[in-house]
Amino acid sequence: MNNFINKINFYHSIIFFLLSISLAIIINRFEFLNISPIICLLLILSIGISHGALDNQKGKKLTQLYNIKNSYFFYLMYTIIVIGIITFWLLFPTTSLIIFLIVASYHFGKEDTEFLIKNKNASNLILYFLKGSLIIIAPLMFHFTETINIFKLLLIQDEKFYLFLDFIESNQILSFALLTSLLVNTYYFINNFKILNILIFFDFLSIVVLNYFASPLIAFTIYFCFLHSFRHSISLINELDKDNFKNGAYIFIKKALPLTLLTSIFFVISLYFLSNYYQLTDAILKVIFIGLASLTFPHILLEYLLGKNEK
């Protein structure tokens, strides 16, 4: 079954690469066909967040490991963390953004690569971060002003933060960071070499191409929904039924649907209130990135605690 899953991941990377190239050509040739922020939001609320929609199932398992009889305790703690993250962001937006970018880089690098790694060691913590940092580096490198404007919409008003970003942009530090990410990808390609490892370069080129031609929001949406979320969903489907992929996919959809719908409702309600104070596009950007930040932290914490206790 693992060979079957590896084959899916391999062909998925090729298809995603072709999709990225095709989308880049379309955007370059026909600017009026750009994907609207509303479509980006709908994709993230459906395909994107669904890969974390089994957190309730994992939460039940975690409560059992801690001998907590009432599973509702998990929902309470998860909700408190989400609300806490949003509150912290409103009070300390710059600090929250920096922490989120660091954590997200590690998370993206880990979940997009971990299935290829046999040897789990401490050095992977740094390597995952450097690999995943491409998601942050690429939009800053190719659409610096537009990315800065998104940061400002996320309540970041600290002038020192922007002076720092201007410094790294003007001194070619972003180019060095991009090269570092490429070197890490090359390391993972060479280490324990197998033909499957070539998908690492397909993924790298796809992300670069997307960010070069598309806006930061569109590039992130395509990556988050059709590479990161899809790949994580594949691993979850395999966990649900190691012998029958179709049955695992059916179980995954059935189990993920309730939490996906519930999360989407909260996002839409938040968008409704924010649209009373901001333009719709600005409100969408706030809901997407601050909302994803509030979900990312408890999701990663859950994965960490579950992995640690299962070991």
Could you report the per-residue pLDDT of 267-306, keeping only the tens digit for each?
A: 999 999 999 999 999 999 999 999 999 999 999 999 888 8
Residues of the chain with confidence (pLDDT) below 50: none
| pLDDT of amino acid 79 | 92
Instruction: Look at the chain and count its residues.
Output: 311
Q: Rounded to an integer, what distance in angstroms lies between the CA atom of residue 119 and that of residue 127? A: 13
- pLDDT tens digits, one per residue of 120-139: 777 888 999 999 999 999 99
| pLDDT of amino acid 210 | 95
| pLDDT of amino acid 123 | 80
| pLDDT of amino acid 311 | 60
Q: Rounded to an integer, what distance in angstroms lies between the CA atom of residue 294 and that of residue 134? A: 21
- CA triple 159-149-141, angle to 5 deg: 95
| pLDDT of amino acid 104 | 94
| pLDDT of amino acid 27 | 84
Q: Rounded to an integer, what distance in angstroms lies between the CA atom of residue 113 and that of residue 234? A: 13
